[in-house]
Structure 1
């Protein structure tokens, strides 16, 4: 084989190897393709559920997390098994917290609202409740782990990663969702 063909094969093999390494880093949560600027979005938070297992909120707070949305309920009957512990423990480390409800089409909205309201005890400086479904008159929490939000859309929270690895939790789920707040620290304090 001549030198030109050998060089071409080595280059092609190197490119394939590089692509495989990049994909492996993305898959394992070591490389984030959608990691917004901390200067533009300085307020960072997580959303957690039973999938993260037991959360060490002190360690998670050390990861420069300012807020957490905690799964409370799903549908009209389900309550996240970790909700009470997460809700209580997150307050002990002075994080802004909010609860979210995973909306289901299997039961009326009023039944789901009752489930949520009977589960979540309001606390001081609590973030507004979040539903999986969004409506025009409410703040928008968007999820897009591949692209930045459309600049023409008015959003409040953006889940930009579902494959982040932080310290402070020990569940079967290795990854944690990362979220950004669209606003300054002053705006977040007033929210």
Structure 2
């Protein structure tokens, strides 16, 4: 190859490398990236919130529940709620779900369970699989749908209908609106229609002082690099956007109980 012809190839290669580095930073490292890993130091806590919680799965391994209950604090506040991975798709249950779910209630936490959406199974199959594996009780948080990926080759409208199918089936079972977990950009791009306005939102947005999503939300997953006594390695930290009283009202049977007491 002649020397003069090498420059276009060299410049093209540099351009591709720069684009790759930028894309990696934007989507995975930067302050508004969804899967931020603690490259900026210790996790910081959003100011002005007192109701803290975590979400867990088998990735946290065996948890020392006694230490978590009596020693774990976030910014001087105790852990109030724990949301636990239950199922994924139409055939996978988290290997630690049963133990985590039982222990969360035994140790006095408000507990919840979430289903991780898969684009490889139908919404109906996923909903009924979740219901077959998860048996929520009064005092538990509403069921949660964790949805993070848009399927290829499907219109946004059809995708939204699939999501609604899951939500309606599960809502018919528990008579409460399920919580939708997603990151704020996904919400704005794929779920910003009025049919989803009535559902509580759990927004993932890391390493920012406030959630950039402009709509209403109940929970904010603000870091995946938390450290707590009783858990080895990192754990997701969350806050609830309201008081402890409000959180209790959100639970299954919570509103009815509050009304009766009054």
Normalised by the length of structure 1, the TM-score is 0.78
Name the counterpart of 1:97: 111
TM-aligned CA deviation for residue 70 of structure 1: 0.2
**Could you tell me how far 1:28 is from its partner in structure 2?**
7.4
Is 1:138 aligned to residue 199 of structure 2? yes
Deviation at 1:129, TM superposition (A): 1.0
Asked whether the equivalents of residues 99 and 129 of structure 1 are also in contact (C-alpha less than 8 Å), the reply is yes
Is 1:60 the counterpart of 2:71 in the alignment? Answer: no
Runs of 4+, deviation exceeding 6 Å: none
The higher relative CO (CA closer than 8 Å, separation ≥ 6) is in 1
In 2, are the aligned partners of 1:29 and 1:163 still within 8 Å (CA)?
no
Q: Which moved more, 1:144-153 or 1:124-133?
A: 144-153
Q: 1:143-166 CA distances to partner (integer Å, 9 max, x unpaired)?
A: 001222137320011000100111
* Alignment match of 2:84 (pick from 70, 95, 111): 70
**8 A Cα contact 2:202 2:219, kept in partner:** yes
**Quick check: 145-154 or 96-105, which moved more?**
145-154
Contact kept? 1:60, 1:168, Cα under 8 Å: yes
**Residues 114 and 144 of structure 2 are in contact (CA less than 8 Å); yes or no, is this contact kept in structure 1?**
yes
Q: 3-state DSSP class of the match of 1:61?
A: helix
Distance in 2 (CA, whole Å) between partners of 1:29 and 1:67 is 26
Distance 1:117 1:85 in 2: 18
SS of residue matched to 1:190: helix
Bigger share in helix:
2
Name the TM-score, length of structure 2 as normaliser: 0.58
1:17 aligns with none
* Aligned equivalent of 2:223, options 154, 161, 168: 161
Instruction: Tell me the distance in 2 between the aligned counterparts of 1:119 and 1:185.
Output: 28
Write the distance in 2 (CA, Å) between the matches of 1:86 and 1:30.
Answer: 29
The 8 Å contact of residues 165 and 176 in structure 1, kept in 2 or not, is answered as: yes
Stretch of structure 1 that moved more, 116-125 or 157-166: 116-125
Aligned-residue Cα RMSD (Å) equals 1.8
Q: CA deviation at 1:48?
A: 0.2
Give the alignment partner of residue 80 of structure 1, picking from 94, 105, 108.
94
User: In structure 2, do the counterparts of structure 1 residues 73 and 151 end up closer, same or farther at CA, with 3 Å as the change threshold?
Assistant: closer
The runs of 5 or more residues in structure 1 that have no matched partner are 1-25
Check if 1:111 corresponds to 2:125: yes
